[in-house]
Amino acid sequence: MSPPVAGWAAGEGPPEPRRPSEVIPARRLLRRLVAVVAEPTTPQQRLDKIVRMIAADLVAEVCSVYVQRAGDFLELFATEGLAREAVHRTRLRVGEGLVGTIAATGDLINTSDAQNHPNFAYRPETREEIYNSFLGVPILRSGRVVGVLTIQNTARRLYGEDEIDAMQIIASVLAEMFASGGLLDRERYADLGGFVPERRRLEALRLVEGVAIGRAWLHEPRIEITRLLADDPAAERVRLEEAMVALRSSLDRMLARADLASGEHREVLEAYRMFADDTGWLRRIREAIDTGLSAEAAVRRVQEQTRVRIGHAADPVLKERLLDLDDLANRLLLHLAGRSTVHDPSSVPEDCILIARSLSAAELIEYDRAKLKGIILEEGSKTAHVTIVARALDVPLVGRVSGAMTLFEPGDPVALDAENGIVFLRPSEDVLQAFARTVQARNERRRQLAALKDAPAVTRDGVEIWVGINAAFLADLPALDETGAMGIGLFRTELGFMTRPSWPTVEEQSAFYRRILELAGDRRVVFRTLDIGSDKHLPYWRAPAEDNPALGWRAIRVGLDRPALLRGQLRALLTAASGRSLALMFPMVAEVAEFEAARRLLEQERDRLAASGVAPPARLEVGVMFEVPALYWQLEALLPKVDFVSIGSNDLLQFLFACDRGNPALAERYDVLAPAALAFLRDLVERCRARGVPLTLCGEMASRPLEAMALVGIGIRRLSLAPSEIGSVKAMIRSLEASRLADYLAPLLALPDRSLRRRLAAWALDHGVVLPPGQSIPT
C-alpha cells in the first residue's frame, strides 16, 4: 500500500513539538551505523546497538529489526522498547501481521492505530499493546524483502514524510550491512532466507537441447556497492549528473546504429531512452544522495524499490517499463564505477552458464566455446541467429526466463535442462547428483551414436539420405571425421567476417577458403556467399537504416548493390578452389534476375583469373538458397539455370508465416511441422525432382530428428545440420521406413491442423523410430 498523507488521526490531540534534527537521520547517524559494524563485538551486540541509535535519533519508543528466515517467516532479531525476551522468540509468517504483510508486499505500513489495523497480529511476549503508532519499511536486497525495520510510539499519530524517508534510507543501508555479514551471525543462523540465496526452479523455452551444470556468469556485469556514504552530497550530485550524461550518450550511440534507425524496435528503444530523462526517477536518486548516501548507494536504493514493484506488477506493460528502469539503473551504476557495460568474453571462468537478457550471434561468437557450458536468456526464439550459432557450437540454450538478470548472482550454481526447458538455480546436492547422472547418460548416448559414424544413413527400406554438416569456422572441420558426415552442406562465410576487427582482404579470404577445402578433402563443401544484414552485423561496416532489416538490404541485395564486395569474395573462392571442385550458392534470392546478375559477376571473375594464368576450379557448381517464397513461382525459369537448390528453412518459413523469428512473443506461435509448411516443401521437392535438380535442406529443421523425419517423409534426400545432431538424425534414419512414413504423411498435408507434431511423434513411437527422449514424447 502507499503511505498515507502525513498528519494526525481524526480526534487526536496536537503533536508534541519535534525538532527536525530529531526526525531526519543526520549524516552522522548513518556514519555511526556503518561504524558499528567495525566494532570488536558480536553481531548481536552490534544489531542491538543499532536499534538503540535509530530509536534515539528518530525519537521512537520502539525500534525493531525482523529478519526473514528460511521457511518464509520473520524472526525478531533485535529491539529497543519491546520485551527483551521476545528477541529470537517472536516469529511471524510472511503475510501474517503488519510485519509479515510488509514482507509479503514490499510496501511500507504507516498507521496511528496498529492494534485495530486489519492485518495486526498480537504477540503477547512482546508486550507491545501499549504502542499505537507503527511505521514499518522493508529491508530490500536484490529485489527481495530480507527483513523489516519498524518504529513504534504510544501516542497516536501518522509518521511524517521525513520520518518515512529516514526509515527507508536506514533500511537500504542496513541491507548492504546485512549482506556484508557484520550484523548477522551466519554460523549460528545459517538458514537466513534473505541472505542465503534461495533455490529456484524456473520454466524456460527450449531452444537448443542439452544438459549442463555450471556457474552463472552475467553477460552484463553487476556492480557491488562498497561505499555507502559520502561527505559531500553536492559532489555526489555532480558525479551522478556526469554519469547520466555518459549514460545518455551511450544510449544515443546505440540509437544511432544503422540497424536500429527505424521500425517498431526503434520506437521501443526510443521509449527506453526517454526513461533516462524520467524526472521522478532522477528526483528520487537525488533525494537519496541528499540524505548522505553515495551516488551508487542512492541509485541502488531506488533500484531495489523498483525491483519490488516488478515482482508485484500484474500489468505486463508496467512490468516492462519497470524492467527498463532496472536495466537503466544497472547501466548507470556501471558508468558511476567507470566500467564497461559488458564483461570481457575472454575472461569467463570454466563451466560458465551465460546469463543475458538477449544476445546476438556476434556476441556469442566472442565467448570461449570450451568454457561455455550453457546459455540462459530472458528473451530468445527457436530460429533467431543466436540459436543457430549456439546449436552449431553445441551449447544448450533456453530462453524466456523472466527476470534472469536479476535472479542470478555471479557464481551461482546452475543446473540447466534444455531438453525439458527447466533451470535449477542454486540446486540442492540431490539435484546436482541427478544432473550429473543425466550428463553421464547423455554422454553415453553420444558415445553410442558416435558408433554410427561409419554406418550409412540408409532407411530400413533402402532409401539413402545424404547427411552433411553446417559449418562456419576452421574449428568445425574436425566434426566431419568425428561424425562421419558426407560433407558440408552449408558453410556460412559471414560468421568469419563477423569475428574480425576489419574487412579481410581477398588474399586472406582465399587462404581461409583454401584451408577449408584442404581439411574437407574429397568431401563436398557448399559455400554460401555473404549473408550480412538483418541481425548479422559486421563491427567495421555500417549498413543503412531500415524499418525491417529482415526484409531489407541484406545478403545478395548487398552483393549486387556493392559488386566490389561480392566480386572480391568470388575471386577468393575461385582462387582457393583452383584445380579443385567448388560449390557455392547465393542467399536471399527473390527473383531469377538477381541470380543471373550474381552469376555474371562470377563469370567475370573466372575470366579475370583465367587471363592472369590462375587455373580455374576443376568443377564449378552454382546454386541458390531458396528462402523467399516468391521464387517458388519462378521455378520453371530458375531450375534450368542452377546446379542445385538449398532450402534455408529458417528464413523461408519466417516469410511464409509472416512471423519475425527473432520476436520472443511469436517463438511458438507457428510450427514448422504445420501441414501448410510441409505441403509447400513437398511441392518444391517434386518440382526439383522433375527437373533433375538436387535439393538440400540446411535450416534448423534438419537438426531436430522429428522434423528431419518429416522431411524424409515428404521426399527430401539431402540434409545439412548441426554437427552435434548428426548421430541422432542418423539413428532416426536407420530406424525408419521412408515409404510407410510417406504413405502416412501424404493425406495429413491437407488437414487444417495447426501442427502435425503430435501425430508424427506418436507414429514414430508406434513404428520403433529412434528419437531423442525429448522428442519421442508428443508435446
Give catalytic residues, as residue numbers: 385, 698
CA dihedral 104, 175, 22, 122 (to 10 degrees): 30
Three-state secondary structure string covering 221-270: CCCCCCCCECCCHHHHHHHHHHHHHHHHHHHHHHHHCHHHCCCHHHHHHH
* DSSP 8-state assignment for residue 674: -
| CB < 8 Å & 24+ apart, contacts of 117-125 | 121/92, 121/96, 121/97, 123/86, 123/90, 123/92, 123/97, 125/83, 125/85, 125/86, 125/89, 125/90
Helix locations, 43-142, DSSP H:
43-57, 97-105
Helix locations, 313-428, DSSP H:
316-337, 361-365, 385-393, 404-407
* DSSP 8-state assignment for residue 747: G
Q: Nearest to residue 403, comparing CAs of 475, 504, 499, 319?
A: 319
Residues 584, 199: Cα–Cα separation, whole Å: 51
* Contact (Cβ atoms closer than 8 angstroms) between residue 211 and residue 435: yes
CA angle 41, 42, 44 (to 5 degrees): 125
Cell of 462: 533402402
| CB < 8 Å & 24+ apart, contacts of 237-242 | 237/286, 237/289, 237/295, 239/295, 239/336, 240/285, 240/286, 240/289, 240/295, 240/298, 240/299, 240/336
What's the chain's length in residues?
Answer: 779
Q: Nearest to residue 393, comparing CAs of 720, 702, 722?
A: 722
Residues 5, 161: Cα–Cα separation, whole Å: 8
* Contact (Cβ atoms closer than 8 angstroms) between residue 359 and residue 375: yes
User: Facing residues of 586 across strands?
Assistant: 624
Residues 628, 552: Cα–Cα separation, whole Å: 12
Q: Is 645 helix (H, G, I), strand (E, B) or coil?
A: strand
Strands 422-425 and 413-417: antiparallel
* DSSP 8-state assignment for residue 486: -
Q: Is 565 helix (H, G, I), strand (E, B) or coil?
A: helix
